Amino acid sequence: MSQPAFDFGDVELDDATNPTYTVGELADAINDQLRRGFRDGVWVRGEIGGLRHGGPHTYFSLVEDGENGKAVLNVQLFAPMKRRLLPILKRNRLELRDGMKVRIFGHLDFYAQGGRLGLKMAGLDPRYTLGEIAQSRDGVMRRLVAEGLIDVNRAKVLSPVPLQVGVAASADSAAWHDFRDEIERSGRGFRLVVADTRVQGEFAARRVAGAIATLSRRTDLDVIVVIRGGGARNELAVFDAEVIARTIAAAPVPVLTGLGHEIDRSVADEVAHTSLKTPTACAGALVDRVNASVATAEAAWQAIAQHVSVAVDSAASRLRDTAHRIARHTHAAVERADERLGVRRHRLASLAPGALGRAGDRLDRNAALLRERSTHRLAREVDRLDVAAARAASLDPAVQLARGWTITRRADGAVARSARALAAGERLTTTLIDGEVTSVVEAPDPSRQPPADRK
């Protein structure tokens, strides 16, 4: 671009061929050029960012990340046009949100007071946004199908009594309150563990995935529930995020979704074990499952009780029959035993006198024989006793002393039996028939042999 020389000379400060604009005039000139260049308006596509509301008007930036950096266009949606566009958004279940990809129509306008170029929004192509959502969703689904992740969580076995429930939801939302109220109305012993998370906005997908992952690390849960209330289709597109789908597939327990939409199914619904239309329906499904288990258990108990009652009645009947048979057999057996006992009693009465007589005779014979044998035996024993007494008397020391024998004892009272055992000067005491004699050994003479024993 060439630069004009600054040699003004006598040139007029303002002429038709080289006009000088005021700032306001330049702004008007720019707008005139924009209107001529984009007389019928212009379609622009990009991603909404920095959405804000100023009274009845809405302002945001249309952003595109390009090779040369981020391109930004300011957009103004004024109240009259906003009222015209709301039915279109509502009909297509869309709502302007940050991160939403849009194709919008408007008129370029240079805002002199701010010195910025903007677009006055006048129209919206909902097919573009829905197409972007569908295209993103289809891409995620293709990758999940290719990796075999669609049916992974569905293969998990849901407890027949899922009372320990982890809930990924916004704790301030109506969805959470609806879910909790439905659970509490059931009167069953549910225990709810809530992982509070944002379910819409720029970082909602990662936060929801983080809440599911946090619940997955617990070992005390039977099921995980992901819920949110109804909303625009682009808001619910949060649950088409791949990070949420992969987290659900990796969960160790079944995951149920109740995402508040009646028509579309999100990717999260596709990978979940069971998807329900609303948070209330999700709670109802859990309550119904527990009620069904309780009903099954009660029916089984009643069937067992009925079977036991029939079995007890049958056994009682058999027992009564058996008791009657035993009573009849016992009565007959007692009667037969009485008859046999009577017969034997008569036989015993008739045989007893003869047996007693024979036994008395045997007793008399044995008594006589015993008396005879004992007399002879006693005489023999008396003779042997007399012989033994005579022998014992012959050995009495007094008798021996009377015969002339003596007994010599040493000082310690021991009998002196050998001369070799005596020592000279030892004192001895000799017992005679009529007294004792004390002597002192002068010299023992062991050479002499003792006299032979007398008999």
pLDDT at 328: 87
Q: Is the pLDDT of residue 2 over 60?
A: no
Average pLDDT for 133-143 = 81
Range with lowest mean pLDDT among 302-316, 366-380, 427-441: 366-380
The proportion of the chain whose per-residue pLDDT surpasses 70, expressed as a percent, equals 92
Mean pLDDT, the chain, whole residue set: 84
Q: What is the largest CA-CA distance in the chain?
A: 202
Residue with tokens 């000799």: 430
pLDDT at 6: 47
Q: Quick check: 285 and 159 in contact, CB under 8 A? A: no
3-state secondary structure 358-369: HHHHHHHHHHHH
Q: Is the pLDDT of residue 180 over 90?
A: yes
Number of CB atoms found within 10 A of residue 43's CB: 11
Q: Is the pLDDT of residue 232 over 80?
A: no
Q: Quick check: 46 and 70 in contact, CB under 8 A? A: no
- Long-range contact pairs involving 114-117 (C-beta distance under 8 Å, separation at least 24): 116/74, 117/73, 117/74
Q: How far apart are CA 78 and CA 54, in angstroms?
A: 10
Q: Is the pLDDT of residue 1 over 70?
A: no
Average pLDDT for 82-92 = 86
Residue with tokens 């036989």: 347
Q: Is the pLDDT of residue 393 over 70?
A: yes
Q: Is the pLDDT of residue 411 over 80?
A: yes
Q: Is the pLDDT of residue 234 over 60?
A: yes
Residue with tokens 């022998």: 391
Q: Is the pLDDT of residue 284 over 90?
A: yes
The phi, psi pair for 383, rounded to 5°, reads -65, -45
Residue with tokens 């008397």: 393
pLDDT at 451: 55
Average pLDDT for 393-402 = 72
3-state secondary structure the chain: CCCCCCCCCCCCCCCCCCCCCCHHHHHHHHHHHHHHHCCCCEEEEEEEEEEEEECCEEEEEEEEEECCEEEEEEEEECHHHHHHHHHHHHHCCCCCCCCCEEEEEEEEEEECCCCEEEEEEEEECHHHHHHHHHHHHHHHHHHHHHCCCCCCHHHCCCCCCCCEEEEEECCCCHHHHHHHHHHHHHCCCCEEEEEECCCCCCCHHHHHHHHHHHHHCCCCCCEEEEECCCCCHHHHHHHHCHHHHHHHHHCCCCEEEECCCCCCCCHHHHHCCEEECCHHHHHHHHHHHHHHHHHHHHHHHHHHHHHHHHHHHHHHHHHHHHHHHHHHHHHHHHHHHHHHHHHHHHHHHHHHHHHHHHHHHHHHHHHHHHHHHHHHHHHHHHHHHHHHHHHHHHCCHHHHHHCCCCEEECCCCCECCCHHHCCCCCEEEEEECCEEEEEECCCCCCCCCCCCCCC
pLDDT at 21: 65
Q: How far apart are CA 168 and CA 208, in angstroms?
A: 7
Residues counted in the chain: 455
Q: Is the pLDDT of residue 246 over 90?
A: yes
415, 398, 395, 419: which is closest to 407 by C-alpha? Answer: 415
How far, CA to CA in Å, does 77 sit from each of 62, 82, 111, 312, 399?
12, 6, 14, 83, 164
Range with lowest mean pLDDT among 73-77, 156-160, 309-313, 396-400: 396-400
How far, CA to CA in Å, does 310 sit from each of 303, 306, 315, 318, 324?
11, 6, 8, 12, 21
- Burial tier of 208 (Cβ tally within 10 Å: 0-12, 13-18, 19+): buried
pLDDT digits (tens, 9 = 90+) for 313-351: 888 889 988 888 898 888 888 888 888 888 888 888 888
265, 223, 214: which is closest to 240 by C-alpha? Answer: 265
Q: How far apart are CA 186 and CA 283, in angstroms?
A: 10
